[in-house]
Amino acid sequence: MTEIIRNIRGMPDVLPEQTRYWRWLEQTAFSLLQSYGYEELRLPVLESTELFTRSIGSVTDIVEKEMYTFADRNGDSLSLRPEGTAGAVRCMIQSGLLHTPGAKVWYQGPMFRHERPQRGRLRQFNQIGVEAFGISEPTIDAELIIMSQRLWQQLGLAEQTVLKLNSLGNREERQQYRQLLQDWLQKHQQHLDEDSQRRLLSNPLRVLDSKNPALSDLLQEAPKLLQHLGPASRAHYDEVCELLTDNGIDFVQDDRLVRGLDYYSHTVFEWQTDALGAQGTLCAGGRYDDLVALHGAKPTPGIGFAMGEERLVELLQSQAHQAQQPLVYMVVQEPSLRQAAMQLLEHCRDRVPTAILLLDHLGGSLKAQMKRANRSQTSYAVIIGAEEYARGEVSVRLMQQQGPQLQLSAQELPDWLAGRNA
């Protein structure tokens, strides 16, 4: 027997039961983004490997061991994008869109990381990413956060999300702090676990968000980045906080919120939930004022965030969200009537274009067709019988309510449906 080919690990199919939540999420998000003046970018999934090594930081795990990298036919090193910002920045530079000050864009699509799959973590996962370029004012930081809060509200998720906020300062401040923290951690090295000792050298900031509860007390004592910011950075951060407060956004200042990607600076934030197990970050982002220059273009500040669609969908699924149900399920007494049924159904479609109108293509006994009509959860089963159709009539059976079966003329069926589709 021929072996059945399965999907690739960590790259699951999304089935109809779930896709309706995806559409709910995306339709809500896309129209919200539009209302704030963000425009869509469609970006490739494959990029030069160097784009990511340069952007994300070559010592991060993402670049070191999680990228899907391979040689193109001509030998060029290509990678499936592990995140969206690098490609968005590349596009903005290359297209010249960066020359329009204050460009605001979004994109949606799959990202790829070769990680061990677990709840909320996949090898192909989808993000909605949002980026704003050329704006250094803190109002844009606040706008992005306020906008995302509005999205949670529209999706009914506001109760399950909490906002964490921090500032990483500028490059110099961060480097100075990094040294300070490294020295401090070295003094307490004997209390650190194995992972933290390793990160102490490679990426000391990340020691701070260790999940090991045994380190919690110790890390509380560590020097705080926020207290080592210069006046300008501090003022920027304070202003973001004030704008959020003015707009009724609750947040938690979190000294231990550092980002996994090297390009972040100043404001960083994360929307988290405790309803999804270990992978609770729903949406994360921050400023990357040095990234554009890093790619050789005129220095231009930037800020953005990305939300994990699979994680949001998982939260949405705990809510009741009814699929649209059919208005009509049309059945025929015998196969020869199906052609007429089809035409009649098309006339109905002209009249109620947004309703779901179904024709039974499978046939069989009327009983079998009626069972399918029932299962479809249709409001009305329209029955085309030979004799009555010859008289120009059809039967309409009410499937979701009590009441006698109706006899209507085929001609008036579209209007009748329009009246019922309110």
Partner RNA sequence: GUGGACGUAGCUCAGUGGUAGAGCACCGCGUUGUGGCCGCGGCGGUCGUGGGUUCAAUCCCCAUCGUCCACCCCA
Residues that bind RNA in the complex, under the rule CB under 7 A: 1, 6, 9-10, 12, 60-62, 66, 83, 113, 115-122, 125, 127, 195, 199, 206, 209-212, 259-261, 270, 277-279, 281-284, 306-308, 310-311, 333, 364-368, 370-375, 381, 383, 385-388, 395, 397-400, 405
Sort residue 10 into left (φ over 0), alpha (ψ -120 to 50) or beta. left
Report the nearest approach of RNA to the CB of residue 96 (Å).
Answer: 27
Report the nearest approach of RNA to the CB of residue 13 (Å).
Answer: 11
Output the DSSP codes for 288-333: -TTHHHHTTSPP--EEEEEEEHHHHHHHHTTS--PPPPPSEEEEES
Sort residue 109 into left (φ over 0), alpha (ψ -120 to 50) or beta. left
Comparing CA positions, the residue from 310, 266, 273, 268 lying closest to residue 290 is 266
Residue number, 103 or 111, with CB nearest to RNA: 111
Residue number, 20 or 121, with CB nearest to RNA: 121
- Which residues, other chains included, contact 161 with Cβ-Cβ below 8 Å and sequence gap of 6+? 152, 271, 272, 273, 282
Q: Residue 249: how many CB atoms within 10 A of its CB?
A: 17
Report the nearest approach of RNA to the CB of residue 49 (Å).
Answer: 17
Residue number, 154 or 234, with CB nearest to RNA: 154
d(CA 352, CA 356): 9
Residue number, 221 or 387, with CB nearest to RNA: 387
d(CA 129, CA 108): 6
**Half-sphere exposure (CA, 13 Å, Cβ side) for 88?**
29
Residue number, 234 or 376, with CB nearest to RNA: 376
Report the nearest approach of RNA to the CB of residue 322 (Å).
Answer: 17
Report the nearest approach of RNA to the CB of residue 265 (Å).
Answer: 14
352 backbone dihedrals φ, ψ, rounded to 5°: -130, 70
Report the nearest approach of RNA to the CB of residue 44 (Å).
Answer: 19
H/E run at residue 18: helix 16-35
Residue number, 95 or 324, with CB nearest to RNA: 324
Residue showing tokens 């929307």: 271
Report the nearest approach of RNA to the CB of residue 55 (Å).
Answer: 12
* Helices then strands, each counted (H, E), the chain: 15, 16
Report the nearest approach of RNA to the CB of residue 93 (Å).
Answer: 21
- Which residues, other chains included, contact 260 with Cβ-Cβ below 8 Å and sequence gap of 6+? 60, 61, 62, 206
Residue number, 143 or 310, with CB nearest to RNA: 310
Residue number, 227 or 401, with CB nearest to RNA: 401
Residue number, 103 or 205, with CB nearest to RNA: 205
Report the nearest approach of RNA to the CB of residue 282 (Å).
Answer: 5
Residue number, 119 or 298, with CB nearest to RNA: 119
SS3 157: coil
Report the nearest approach of RNA to the CB of residue 11 (Å).
Answer: 8
Residue number, 51 or 137, with CB nearest to RNA: 51
Output the DSSP codes for 117-145: -BTTB-SEEEEEEEEEES--SHHHHHHHH
Q: Report the chain's terminal Cα–Cα distance, integer Å.
A: 53
- Which residues, other chains included, contact 87 with Cβ-Cβ below 8 Å and sequence gap of 6+? 43, 44, 47, 51, 81
Give me 115's structure tokens. 């990680």
Report the nearest approach of RNA to the CB of residue 238 (Å).
Answer: 24
Give me 354's structure tokens. 């947004």
